Amino acid sequence: MASALVAHAAETADMVFLAAGDDDVARIYERVGFARLATSAVADLRPLA
């Protein structure tokens, strides 16, 4: 299934953005043909309880 999605993305999109929750997920994305280009962070501005 993942390889069909990768093939479709390659045929129809200029860029695909995926967010991996951890390194294990990132490795799965890389295994099906995606490349890690950057790392992002999310800030949670809620006060600590």
Residue 12 pLDDT = 93
Instruction: Give the distance from CA 16 to its chain's centroid.
Output: 8
pTM: 0.60
What is the residue-wise DSSP string for the chain? -HHHHHHHHHHH-S------SSHHHHHHHHHTT------------SPP-
* pLDDT(49) > 80: no
> What was the pLDDT predicted at 45?
87
28-42 pLDDT tens trace: 888 888 888 888 887
List the chain domain ranges: 2-31
